[in-house]
Amino acid sequence: MNEYQKYICEIFGKHPETFDEIAQATMSIINHNIKDYNARLIGFVWDINYSDLVSNSHHAPIGQSTNWWRDAEKPLGYPGFSGRVWIRISNKIPGFASSIFNGSLTHTGTGGLGSYDSIWDKVIAKSHKYNDYYPGEYYSWEYRFFIDDFPKFKSGEFREILDNYEAKIVWKKLMSEKLPVLNYRHRFVWEDPKIKINDDEYLNKYMV
């Protein structure tokens, strides 16, 4: 276990074994990173897909190399999941918000302040129109993580996904059919229950 994985265990209490636990560990680290600003996470959503070659242009699994220049003689990516992440925070924080993911072994890319077609678009739009509700601060980025950084996930929930895929491959080979690629999508949604109630009550004010 490397120092980053130890840090996750220290903050989250264990090393993540499932998609949900990777998300929950990331949320724990975000809350740890923003607590000095009297802020807290009030929403977290990701929508991610598997790829054999998640780009390593800026980040790579611990112990592996990045490849900003896309040198064909070096790895161009590693197995993992990529897509988009959306977060809501209770109040403003200084600096670059993407830094709040530091230590999570998950990585942000292009993005920043804004809704970016989030599940909170309606409440944000209403609050901007009427200026009578504070929805918190909201951000979104391109997002990725590498499977090798989460060994218990790799040998646990992800292993089950691979086993199911490999069973399909065997069957397709027997039937002389075209072999499928591993296509797996995961969506995680968490909202602070009290904030969700407040959002719903606010939106109901303007229902005709």
Which pLDDT score is estimated for 167? 87
Three-class DSSP category at 61: coil
Runs of H (alpha helix) within 73-114: none
Which pLDDT score is estimated for 124? 96
Distance CA 70, CA 24 (A): 33
Let me know: does 46 contact 23? Beta carbons within 8 Å.
Answer: yes
Which pLDDT score is estimated for 179? 63
Handedness of CA 41, 190, 205, 116 (dihedral sign): positive
What tokens does 90 get? Answer: 């209770």
Three-class DSSP category at 135: coil
Which pLDDT score is estimated for 180? 77
Cα–Cα–Cα angle for 14, 19, 25, rounded to 5 degrees: 40
If you ran DSSP here, which 8-state letter would residue 68 be given? T
Which pLDDT score is estimated for 178? 74
* Whole-structure pTM value: 0.94
Distance CA 65, CA 59 (A): 8
Which pLDDT score is estimated for 150? 98
List the one residue out of 5, 1, 40 whose CA is nearest residue 21.
Answer: 5
Average pLDDT of each block of 10 consecutive residues along the chain (208 residues)? 94 97 98 97 98 96 94 94 98 93 97 95 95 96 98 97 88 70 95 98 86
List the one residue out of 49, 70, 75, 64 whose CA is nearest residue 148.
Answer: 64
List the chain domain ranges: 3-205
